[in-house]
Amino acid sequence: MEPWRTGITTSDAKSIYIRGYEVASLMRQATFTDIVFLLHQARLPSKEERSLFDAILIGVSDHGAEAPSAAAARIVASGNRRSLEAAVAAGVLAMGDAHGGAASDCMQMIADGIAAARAQGVPLQEAAGRVAEDAKAQRRRLPGIGHRVHTEDPRTRVLFEMAGAYGVARDGVAFMQALEAAARERIRPLPINIDGAMAAVLHDLGFAPAVGRRVFIIGRVTGVTAHVMEEHVREKPMRVRFPVSYDGPPPRKIG
Amino acid sequence: MEPWRTGITTSDAKSIYIRGYEVASLMRQATFTDIVFLLHQARLPSKEERSLFDAILIGVSDHGAEAPSAAAARIVASGNRRSLEAAVAAGVLAMGDAHGGAASDCMQMIADGIAAARAQGVPLQEAAGRVAEDAKAQRRRLPGIGHRVHTEDPRTRVLFEMAGAYGVARDGVAFMQALEAAARERIRPLPINIDGAMAAVLHDLGFAPAVGRRVFIIGRVTGVTAHVMEEHVREKPMRVRFPVSYDGPPPRKIG
Amino acid sequence: MEPWRTGITTSDAKSIYIRGYEVASLMRQATFTDIVFLLHQARLPSKEERSLFDAILIGVSDHGAEAPSAAAARIVASGNRRSLEAAVAAGVLAMGDAHGGAASDCMQMIADGIAAARAQGVPLQEAAGRVAEDAKAQRRRLPGIGHRVHTEDPRTRVLFEMAGAYGVARDGVAFMQALEAAARERIRPLPINIDGAMAAVLHDLGFAPAVGRRVFIIGRVTGVTAHVMEEHVREKPMRVRFPVSYDGPPPRKIG
Amino acid sequence: MEPWRTGITTSDAKSIYIRGYEVASLMRQATFTDIVFLLHQARLPSKEERSLFDAILIGVSDHGAEAPSAAAARIVASGNRRSLEAAVAAGVLAMGDAHGGAASDCMQMIADGIAAARAQGVPLQEAAGRVAEDAKAQRRRLPGIGHRVHTEDPRTRVLFEMAGAYGVARDGVAFMQALEAAARERIRPLPINIDGAMAAVLHDLGFAPAVGRRVFIIGRVTGVTAHVMEEHVREKPMRVRFPVSYDGPPPRKIG
């Protein structure tokens, strides 16, 4: 069997090395957020990058028991009291396209939009305008903007202020702001949500689109473990009941 | 349907509140590690607690592609290119009793050992000695000590030095050091491993035994996402092959 | 790397052999239920054994959308439209101790009870009586008896009638009937439920206790896939909403 | 909370009804394969349909320990001895696009190919020829044909013979045979594999493309449970080792 190649972590009799750094040194001198960055970007972040990455991970860490990831984890925890890992994994599995997937979709849209602007030699505003028009014509939702509850997402403002203050904001943030303006004009007011804000900032931090979903999962797992803890500590097994209405065939005989 | 009770996170039209703190304030003023602590302990950590918690999360974040969690995630990623969440969930599922479960088992042993010492009015050294003797008599492995590779785990030294310097080390650390000494005397030299070190420190930080596994999962998920990223970026689908030797019944006919 | 040993399935350039039988012959001459039996028992069932095994798999295949496995799968399907496997896996993860675990627990109780009767040279009735008394004294629920809804589980009657008619019923069925009688006398009327009935019959078919949970999972997976299908076909993404009531700390400031 | 709608299963104080049939009657008169069909097609199969469905489920039930689903399940079982459901779920998660996904992709291709033939009023042979040419021009693999090991898949022959003998074979089987002939002529000999054969037959049985993956998962779960059983019974915890070669950065200092 050919050996598995990896460039992430190695170890010898003395220590473990993550991306070349001795784990003992990292434990003394780095934060966990640095290690998340290091594992996915192969270098340690600057102080400003770390603060932004912290803010993103915090921004996605939890938004309540009714999120599909928390709900799925709690229902599994309700039928399965012995396996913490089963409940957490079910929470991870709920983080699909419709819950937690928007950040990567939005990062792809940003990367494509900026590439189109460059290829055609037009300003970002124009490229963003076309994206909004296409979405309107095709009656397609744009990832990263719009919100069920908030008219302005407080998390977006924090991320963009920090990205501006730290000199990190570049084309990604500019594109999303242009898209928000274009949507307001051509569709309706659609505030940039946390997925869109983190997508813009992760783009400007140099991450590939696929990283958006990874960061969402890493940040949200800790919310999920807290919900599983609460379910196990405060609730009885099998406590979850749903009202169900049956609309299938009436009783019938075989044959 | 009765509403689900939760004391973790709530939201209104203006913001999201995690354990009562507005998420926007947390994004500006806290680190992700603070939020992991807050979600599971219902308060923010002190500066020293945060550093120790960072060191623990870093210490368990990855130890290479051959760990069951990384291996399971990579094999799933190899057969399943579209679903990041499936590969990550498989990695979480590998974190069972034999991989990642020792921290909680060890925290339970520490809590029981300290309680026994108090109940019987004996020093921790004596309680630890009895635990070692019982394990020897029953030929049972003790959680948190012993190591396949290292004669001293560098991560243990770092955690215990930090816990000492920050004034966090208390009975948990003392009990594990007493157990290591007792094992050296009565069984054989068995260094405190990362599971044992994090168990001791988490105990002294006031966490319940079940938190050990949660912290392991939260810390290791980020290693798993990095391995899945590497698998998807560098390897072909279905690339994993194992040498298999069949020892079942030879070809036979039905009936 | 040492090869993995397996006695289950092998293949050559011409065919695949399951427990020694060519898969093409099995496809022509056997039923899927035969193969479930073959894979876990290493021999093909008799006609009577097959009918009982069919009845057991049917008996556990589904009992509605509100079962934790169906509910967890549907919530994952609601947040994750692209990954069938994620939703099904979440359903499997909900099959823990409290949902689907009773069959194995009951098979263990049956095996222990019969062994105790033999060791002590007492009739099964007496051994079952002691089990009921112990449970009552320790205020412990007995696996395999009792029901939230039914006063008699129709599935139990079918399985026991078939096991009797086919000459399969032996000590397992006898023990559970004795336990039901003992519970009626000493605790209260507690009908044998499907977990208890399948446990009795699987015991009499020669299966080890751990097989109970496997059979439950195999049978219920098909119910789960049907619920996921219905969710994807009939419902919108993210449609599941729970009423949530927050009882955590009120809004507060950091520091 | 609005009730969940379902047309699959309901129950009252007396019984459970699957698609309208009382479960007790199904247990007496039907096979498990009938119930898989019933749950996904909302009617019971004919005798011939049942035999074909049995053959399909058997054909995908296992092909050895090295399949990603079995391998992932065994690695999880190796690190997690307590949770059967965790290992089985990991096996399910490995059934993605590259492993088990071909049947649905192939069913979609068949449905599209037949629709195109009808829309253009050309014979299936011509439509299949175009599909093969397009795939060649775009250097794309065709789902359902080609094999790593076999020059003819014995399972395909069995399914097609049975479908012919039972009068089930229609456009689906004809399209796949035309595609195989077209590929032989224009690309190279590419035998119809089990995914392609089951796709053809499931199409002719009236199933929607998405059902292909569901049937694969239902059939393969029983192979996965058998591999997990073997791992737990015959192997030690944490026994799986991979040869790993590290090609990342050499040891380096922080800062």
Q: Tens digits of per-residue pLDDT, A171-183?
A: 999 999 999 999 9
Q: Which of A20, A243, A246 sits opposite D249 (nearest CB)?
A: A20
Query: Per the CB < 8 Å rule, is A6 touching D82?
Result: no
Q: Summarize the confidence of residues A49-63 as an average pLDDT.
A: 97
Residues of B in contact with A58 (CB under 8 A): 23, 26-27, 30-32, 35
Residues of A in contact with C100 (CB under 8 A): 79
Residues of B in contact with D87 (CB under 8 A): 93
C247 within 8 A of B7, measured Cβ to Cβ: yes
Predicted local distance difference test score (pLDDT) of residue A79: 84
Q: Which of B1, B53, B213 sits opposite A241 (nearest CB)?
A: B1
Closest residue in C to A93 (Cα) is C86
Number of C-alpha atoms within 13 angstroms, CB side, residue C169? 17
**Partner residues linked to D4 by β-bridges:** A244
Query: Per the CB < 8 Å rule, is D58 touching C32?
Result: yes
**Confidence check: pLDDT of B84 > 80:** yes
Q: Summarize the confidence of residues D174-184 as an average pLDDT.
A: 97
CA–CA separation, C245 and B78 (whole Å) = 42
DSSP A103-148: HHHHHHHHHHHHHHHHHHT--HHHHHHHHHHHHHHTT-PPTTB--S
Is the ipTM above a cut-off of 0.90?
yes
CA distance B212 to chain C (A): 21
Q: Tens digits of per-residue pLDDT, C148-183?
A: 666 788 899 999 999 999 999 999 999 999 999 999
Q: Summarize the confidence of residues A63-89 as an average pLDDT.
A: 92
- State the DSSP H helix or E strand holding residue D9, giving kind and residue range, or none if neither: strand D9-11
Predicted local distance difference test score (pLDDT) of residue D254: 93
| Whether this model's pTM surpasses 0.90 | yes
- State the DSSP H helix or E strand holding residue B21, giving kind and residue range, or none if neither: strand B21-22
**Confidence check: pLDDT of A17 > 70:** yes
Closest residue in B to C28 (Cα) is B254
CA–CA separation, B118 and B84 (whole Å) = 49
CA distance A199 to chain B (A): 16
Q: Which of C3, C17, C82 sits opposite B245 (nearest CB)?
A: C3
Q: Tens digits of per-residue pLDDT, D9-40?
A: 999 888 899 999 999 999 999 999 999 999 99
Predicted local distance difference test score (pLDDT) of residue B48: 96
Residues of C with CB under 8 A from a CB of A: 1, 64-66, 68-69, 71-72, 75-76, 78-83, 86-87, 89-90, 93-100, 237-238, 240-242, 244
Closest residue in C to A74 (Cα) is C72
Query: Per the CB < 8 Å rule, is C20 touching B248?
Result: yes
Query: Per the CB < 8 Å rule, is D1 touching A243?
Result: yes
Query: Per the CB < 8 Å rule, is A86 touching C93?
Result: yes
Query: Per the CB < 8 Å rule, is A76 touching C65?
Result: no
CA–CA separation, B51 and C83 (whole Å) = 39
Beta-carbon contacts below 8 Å between B and D? 125
Residue C110's nearest CA partner among C15, C174, C184 is C174
CA–CA separation, A218 and B62 (whole Å) = 14
Closest residue in D to A15 (Cα) is D251
Q: Tens digits of per-residue pLDDT, D40-63?
A: 999 999 999 999 999 999 999 999
Closest residue in A to C64 (Cα) is A244
Predicted local distance difference test score (pLDDT) of residue B99: 87
Q: Tens digits of per-residue pLDDT, A80-96?
A: 888 999 999 999 999 98
Q: Which pLDDT band holds residue D84 (cuts at 50, 70, 90)?
A: very high
Query: Per the CB < 8 Å rule, is D6 touching C65?
Result: yes
Predicted local distance difference test score (pLDDT) of residue A52: 97
**Number of CB atoms found within 10 A of residue D252's CB:** 11
Q: Which of D32, D213, D221 sits opposite C58 (nearest CB)?
A: D32
A70 within 8 A of C72, measured Cβ to Cβ: no
Residue A33 amino acid letter:
T
More confident residue, B14 or C104: C104
Residues of D in contact with C201 (CB under 8 A): none
Query: Per the CB < 8 Å rule, is D61 touching C39?
Result: yes
Residues of A in contact with B58 (CB under 8 A): 23, 26-27, 30-32, 35
Residues of A with CB under 8 A from a CB of C: 1, 64-66, 68-69, 71-72, 75-76, 78-83, 86-87, 89-90, 93-100, 237-238, 240-242, 244
B220 within 8 A of B183, measured Cβ to Cβ: no
**Partner residues linked to C22 by β-bridges:** C17
Closest residue in A to D93 (Cα) is A93
Q: Summarize the confidence of residues D156-174 as an average pLDDT.
A: 97
Q: Tens digits of per-residue pLDDT, C45-61?
A: 999 999 999 999 999 99
Please state the separation of Cα B244 from the chain's center in Å.
32
Predicted local distance difference test score (pLDDT) of residue B149: 65
Percent of chain C exceeding pLDDT 70 equals: 99
Q: Which of C53, C214, C232 sits opposite D84 (nearest CB)?
A: C214
What sign has the CA pseudo-torsion C201, C206, C210, C215?
negative
B92 within 8 A of B101, measured Cβ to Cβ: no
Predicted local distance difference test score (pLDDT) of residue A168: 95
The region that residue B143 occupies, defined by phi over 0 for left and psi between -120 and 50 for alpha, beta otherwise, is beta
**Confidence check: pLDDT of B80 > 90:** no
Query: Per the CB < 8 Å rule, is D10 touching A246?
Result: yes
In this structure, what are the phi and psi dihedrals at residue A43, rounded to the nearest 5 degrees?
A: -150, 160
Predicted local distance difference test score (pLDDT) of residue A99: 87
CA distance B100 to chain A (A): 10
Residues of C in contact with D5 (CB under 8 A): 234-235
Residue D167 amino acid letter:
G
**Apex D18 CA angle, C39 and C40, nearest 5:** 10
CA–CA separation, D180 and D46 (whole Å) = 29
Predicted local distance difference test score (pLDDT) of residue D81: 83
CA–CA separation, D78 and D239 (whole Å) = 6
Residues of C in contact with D19 (CB under 8 A): none
Beta-carbon contacts below 8 Å between A and C? 125
Judging by beta carbons within 10 Å of its beta carbon (0-12, 13-18, 19+), is residue C29 exposed, middle or buried?
middle
